[in-house]
Amino acid sequence: MAAHIPEPVVMGVVNVTPDSFSDGGEWLDPAAAIAHGHALVAQGAAILDVGGESTRPGAEPVSAAEELRRVVPVLDGLAGAGARLSIDTSKAAVAAAALDAGATLVNDVTALRGDPRMAALVARRGCEVCLMHMLGEPRTMQRDPRYDDVVGDVRAFLAERLEHAVAQGIAPERVWLDPGIGFGKTIDHNLELLARLDEIVALGRPVVVGTSRKSFLGTITGRGPGDRVAGTIATNVLALARGASVFRVHDVAEARDGLLVAAATLRGRWTAPTTTSTTTSTTTSTTTTGSRPS
Ligand code: HH2
């Protein structure tokens, strides 16, 4: 268990795609995506992660022009929404336009390997960057992934990517790390990474985890993507106990509550939120007047 329990930061997912594995097509219309982003902020998202390309296993790549067409209007509509904006892309042209539109974090699932111009862009713009581990590429990554020691291998990869980022002029304090749950991993790999997440946290940078609705939760529980919120929260809470600080989720209200209670319990202290919830439903907005994870 981590000696220090971080303040949990909830990153809400806004997928502007027709084919994401759990919510493909739901937010493809810009107005719907913007409304969804506002609702996630009201539920407690401190960051909105906007993406225009699915990275689910087997996904086909999308052109930069199409990705830009999907995400830029949504980022424009979410500027001033009350959360930091993150762009989930591996293309420098998309990241540059997103930064122009107000994003301050680049979430690059290729960890600066997808586009040779990405590292220089991040260095020049001084934004934050999330470097994620992935074995192979989305089209093929789930075909028999193998590791010597999954935690050791992922940790060594992330340490090397952090070093590379710094060598490219990115300030180390701007780098977040992510073990890439489900990206070229079997269920056993995912479970071992979560169980030994403290070894990734020991690299000294904020750790992001993205377990939300992923298929290993369905394998364990027998439930479809929309019914995996309890499994998502269980993994988020365990990751928090091991020192993770940023939680990328689709179901923000539930994750926020689970993480706040877990953090209070693990620390043995709590503060009452100044949030007035008008409903217990997660599809209806809550009114947030004060503290949320930041
Ligand atoms: N997972 C997905 C996408 N982006 N980024 C980070 N840093 N960590 C993750 O675990 C991660 C991520 C996949 O989830 P989702 O966006 O819901 O699906 P899709 O890629 O099909 O759009």
Report pLDDT digits (tens) over 34-70: 999 999 999 999 999 999 999 988 888 899 999 999 9
What spacing in Å lies between the alpha carbon of 252 and ligand 1's midpoint?
15
Q: Which of 231, 223, 147 is nearest to 185 (CA)?
A: 147
Cβ of 88 closer than 6 Å to ligand 1, yes or no, is yes
Tell me what the mean pLDDT of segment 59-85 comes to: 96
Token couple for 229: 């919120």
Protein residue whose Cα sits closest to atom 8 of ligand 1: 210
Residue type, 59: A
For residue 251 and ligand 1, the question of a CB distance below 6 A is answered with no
Residue 180 pLDDT? 98
CA 225 to chain CA centroid, nearest Å: 17
Measured CA to CA, the distance from residue 38 to residue 287 in angstroms comes to 11
Q: Could you confirm whether 214 is annotated as catalytic?
A: yes
Q: What DSSP assignment string belongs to the chain?
A: --SS-PPPEEEEEEE--S--TTTTTTT-SHHHHHHHHHHHHHHT-SEEEEESS--STTPPP--HHHHHHHHHHHHHHHTTSSSEEEEE-S-HHHHHHHHHTT--EEEETTTT-S-TTHHHHHHHHT-EEEEE--SS-TTTTTSS---SSHHHHHHHHHHHHHHHHHHTT--GGGEEEE--TTSS--HHHHHHHHHTTHHHHTTSS-BEE--TT-HHHHHHH---GGG-HHHHHHHHHHHHHTT--EEEES-HHHHHHHHHHHHHHHHT------EE-S-S-SSS--EE-S----
Q: What is the pLDDT of residue 277?
A: 57
**What's the 97 CA to ligand 1 centre distance in angstroms?**
20
Q: 190 CA distance to ligand 1 centroid (A)?
A: 14
10 C-alpha to ligand 1 centroid (Å)? 14
Q: How far is the CA of 195 from the centre of ligand 1 (A)?
A: 20
176 vs 26, which has greater pLDDT? Answer: 176
Task: Report the pLDDT value the prediction gives residue 289, as an integer from 0 to 100.
Answer: 31
Report the pLDDT value the prediction gives residue 212, as an integer from 0 to 100.
98
- The response to whether residue 184 sits with its C-beta less than 6 Å from ligand 1 reads no
Identity of the residue numbered 291: S
- Residue 2: pLDDT band with limits 50, 70, 90: low
For the question of residue 185 being annotated catalytic, the response is no
* Per-residue pLDDT tens over the stretch 228-287: 999 999 999 999 999 999 999 999 999 999 999 999 999 999 988 766 455 544 443 343
Given this model, what pLDDT does residue 259 score? 98
pLDDT tier at 4, thresholds 50, 70, 90: confident
In 75-221, which ranges are E strands?
84-88, 105-108, 128-132, 175-178, 208-209
Distance separating alpha carbons of residues 52 and 62, to the nearest angstrom: 8
Regarding the beta carbon of 239 and ligand 1, being less than 6 Å apart is answered no
pLDDT band at 144; cut points 50, 70, 90? confident
Catalytic choice (185, 228, 248, 292): 248
* Predicted confidence (pLDDT) per residue in 145-176, tens digit: 899 999 999 999 999 999 999 999 999 999 99
pLDDT tens per residue, range 96-129: 999 999 999 999 999 999 999 999 999 999 999 9
| Total residue length of the chain | 294
Which of 28, 74, 88 maximizes ligand 1 atoms within 8 Å of its Cβ, making it the mutation to test the pocket?
88
Counting from 1 in the atom list of ligand 1, the atom nearest the Cα of 20 is: 21
